[in-house]
A and B are shown apart, each in its own frame.
Chain A
Amino acid sequence: MTEESLEERRISWMPAWASAAKLSSFAIADHQPPWLCQRPEALHWPWVGENLRRVQTQLREFPVARIIAAIDTVAQRWTDRTFGPRQRCRDQVVVATGFSAEAVERSFDVELRNYRADFLERTLRRELGNPELLDHFCPDEQLPGSALALGPRITLGVFTGNVPGLPALSLIRALLVKSTVIAKVASGEPTFAARFVRTLAEVEPLFGEAIMVTYWDRNDTAALRAALGQVDAVIAYGSDDACAAIRAHVGSHQRYIEHGHKVSIGILARNYLAQIGTAAVAERIAVDVSVFNQHACIAPQTYLIEGTLDEARAFGQQLATALDNYAVACPLGTLEEAEAATLQLRRTSAAWAAATHSHCDLWRGDGLDWTVVLEATIGTVSGSGNRVLRIVPVNDLADALRKLQPIASYLQNIGLGASGPEFWHTAQELARMGACRICEPGRMAEPSMMWRHDGEPCVAKLLRWCDIEMHREADPTAN
């Protein structure tokens, strides 16, 4: 293997202070050729902690404006499709995930534009009021007095591989609060994080010292506990089981933010379809379903459509056309055999249902690029992403809400095609059921940085606060 190809296989990022003598090198054999990784030896995690805490004393002196400016520069580069590191990373993500190159490009486009300065500043203003609270004590009229927001010294990020580019979100949330990071990547897509951190380090060298990207197997609780022993906060992505396994080892003194299993859905009111036009709505839904190849929890698995069976069937045909058009410009990619087999079983089940029940139907691409299934209920067919959309006719939006009730606790992102009082009433009911984001159909795949992800202020939740009150230095009226 040449030095260049070795570099392409490397998925870890080690700060300059991380002496090779204290690291073990290994290969993740899930892939051929295998990904190459470095990780601290079991005994040396305290040394990692010491160094990251040392770096954090420097990072905390950076004004937040400087951090935002540096991230903005990185985001500017990574949102440019001609940026060399992004192009090389895209190729690695294609190898890791099987996504088509264009599907990865569109994932990066959607994900990385969130990290421009304007969005970062608005996020901090939304969650903190005044971003400078991260730099020094600021007056607080309500106390009255002053307040200072302090981020964790070290944050552990445990990532999944389902959405290309997603690790950037947690890295940036941590950097915004001046935290260093231990990032544990997923074997499903381990390549992005280290490449993104390389650019962060090029723009702001201290960022490169403040982040370690590595890997351990999800069942390696010894490595997890060793890393956890050094951190003040944890951001965990994964299945309910995976998150529970992490949560079991988190101490009461540690901040914990979890992004567990969620499901997203769309709803279309008859009036909305008439107002926008069914073909236009179908094109928008094709985007919702196709971005990230529907692997993200924000992608809809089902759209509930107010109308008769015949109207839903006609709309299914329009969705089929829209998804086919989308796939011409942006194919799904290459599925591994297991995924293809799952998809084929789903299609054969849907085909049999369509052949034997008048309320069922199936549309599919010639290859495996997309599938639309007409069903009477929201949960009779397995789903596993890869641009498979179920459509279900409903009598009215109250009927849609009733059908969603069994999955209320998992609801996340809702593409709500409705208007006027009907929109506001339905939105309120969905929020009460558990939804935490409501957007226009066609915008489901692009939640903003400002969105309270899973209903939580994810930056603010990393913080602890120090308030000065009842002191003449901070409140002249005291005493």
Chain B
Amino acid sequence: MAFKYRDSFVARLFDDIGAMLGGDSGVAASIEPRLNELVCANSPAVIDYWKRTRRGLGVPDAAFKGNPPYLFADEPPVRTFRTSGTTGGERGAAHYSARGLELMNLSILANARRHIVRELHSPVILRMVPSAAAAPDMVIAYGMEYIAKAFGHPELSTCVLGPQGVDFALLQQRLQAALAANLPVVLIGASFAFVNICDTCEAQGQRWQLPPGSRMVDAGGFKGRSRAVDVDTLRAAVERVFGIPSRQCINLFGMTELASQLYDGADVPLGPLGERPKSVLPWVRPQVRDAHSLELRSSGSGLLEVVDLCILDRPYVVLTGDRGIATEAGVASAGRIERGQSRGCSLTLDEITQGAAARD
């Protein structure tokens, strides 16, 4: 029997997830079993999927294309975010109910407070991602703006990415203003955006020594990009250009399919590009499944899965499509798993059909 959105079971679960995000550790242990009960009751597809694969296995990112899973047939979504479509053409979608969206908001803030803002008060938050108005279905645009509004300096915080790319004049102006007022700056943007911005600034001989406490948050890695830069090279460039030391740089792993983000938890290079292990939090944790058996493993590499206890509207365990590396220091994301591998003269159908689509 499916739970309705307005059933007390769902209302209590919503309240308790909120309490967990507020720091109430007493409720955390009961949330995952209840989320599991909700998914099993409301999504026969997940039960069927587990029968065909393995019980408890995260749903693949491919599940969010076409007819994405949404647990409350009786409650239309209030918001939908969409994937970029960089890994397979068709864009995926994640639907949110009002409660689900509120939990995502709480998770974003709890994570930002812990990993980004920390001791700062009203820093200048400069976003190198589109504004939420410019990209209403892009979750990173929404989340970054939400963080900036909640924690950022109200006058000086802004988005510096417009339709024509980075607005360097605006970036310079806000950096100068922050320097003049001795306000720490938080630079937030996609990993590849930082590479381009640092390249441009260095080519133009522009450098800043931002006030103490300034920091950088990069997200997204180099998925679908022609050029991959290792973590320490990127951070060295950020230090040269903005005067932000490497220890004040942090990487964020987010997916449209998730409500919570994963942030670096230790400054230990683990992945091939020096990727750091992500924090395990009471409400979101990365884990790695063995590529051969799909069993969870505490060390070694395999398929990266995320258990996100802030997802109320969809299956809360997601198989990311990324490679994960598990060590005692934690789990790092280490790039995308190839969807099809051509070998010699043998080509995969997807490559042909995508190539044909690209030419159309």
Contacts and interface: CB of A to CB of B under 8 A. Distances in A.
Contacts of A263: 346-349, 352
Contacts of A383: 340, 348-350
A338 B353 contact: no
A345 B292 contact: no
Contact of B67 (A237, A351, A356): A356
A311 to B, nearest CB: 21
B63 interface: yes
Interface string B259-303: 000000000000000000000000000000001101000000111
A302 interface: yes
Contacts, number: 158
A335 B345 contact: no
Interface string B59-92: 1101100110000000000000000000000000
B33 interface: no
A214 to B, nearest CB: 19
Contact of A379 (B49, B344, B350): B350
Interface in B313-353: 319, 321, 323, 337-353
Nearest to B90: A380
B167 interface: no
Interface string A161-195: 11100100000000000000000001010000000
Contacts of B338: 338, 342, 384
B346 A296 contact: yes
Interface string A338-366: 11111011111101111110000010100
B62 A348 contact: yes
A362 B52 contact: yes
B202 interface: no
A380 B340 CA distance: 12
Contacts of B63: 349, 352, 356
B53 interface: yes
B356 interface: yes
Contacts of B66: 356
Interface residues of B, number: 40
A260 B48 CA distance: 40
Contact of A301 (B53, B60, B348): B348
Contact of B52 (A237, A240, A355, A380): A355
A385 interface: yes
B294 A344 contact: yes
Contacts of A301: 348-349
B349 A297 contact: no
B60 A345 contact: yes
Given A261-B346, A342-B337, A342-B338, A337 B356 contact: no
B110 interface: no
- Contact residues of A: prevailing secondary structure: mixed
A34 interface: no
Interface of B: 45-46, 48-49, 52-53, 57, 59-60, 62-63, 66-67, 291-292, 294, 301-303, 319, 321, 323, 337-353, 356
B344 A345 contact: no
A45 B119 CA distance: 65
A22 interface: no
B68 to A, nearest CB: 10
Contact of B339 (A163, A299, A346): A346
A163 B303 contact: no
A10 interface: no
Given A368-B292, A379-B353, A382-B348, A345 B303 contact: yes
18 contacts: A161-B343, A237-B344, A263-B352, A297-B344, A297-B346, A301-B348, A335-B292, A337-B291, A338-B338, A342-B337, A345-B60, A355-B46, A356-B66, A356-B67, A368-B292, A378-B349, A379-B349, A384-B338
A384 B356 contact: no
A356 B68 CA distance: 10
Interface string A370-390: 000000001111111100001
B45 A344 contact: no
A337 B352 contact: no
Given A340-B292, A384-B343, A348 B319 contact: yes
Given A340-B291, A368-B292, A384-B342, 17 more contacts: A160-B345, A239-B347, A261-B342, A261-B345, A297-B347, A301-B349, A341-B302, A344-B294, A347-B53, A348-B60, A349-B62, A356-B45, A379-B349, A380-B350, A383-B340, A383-B348, A384-B348
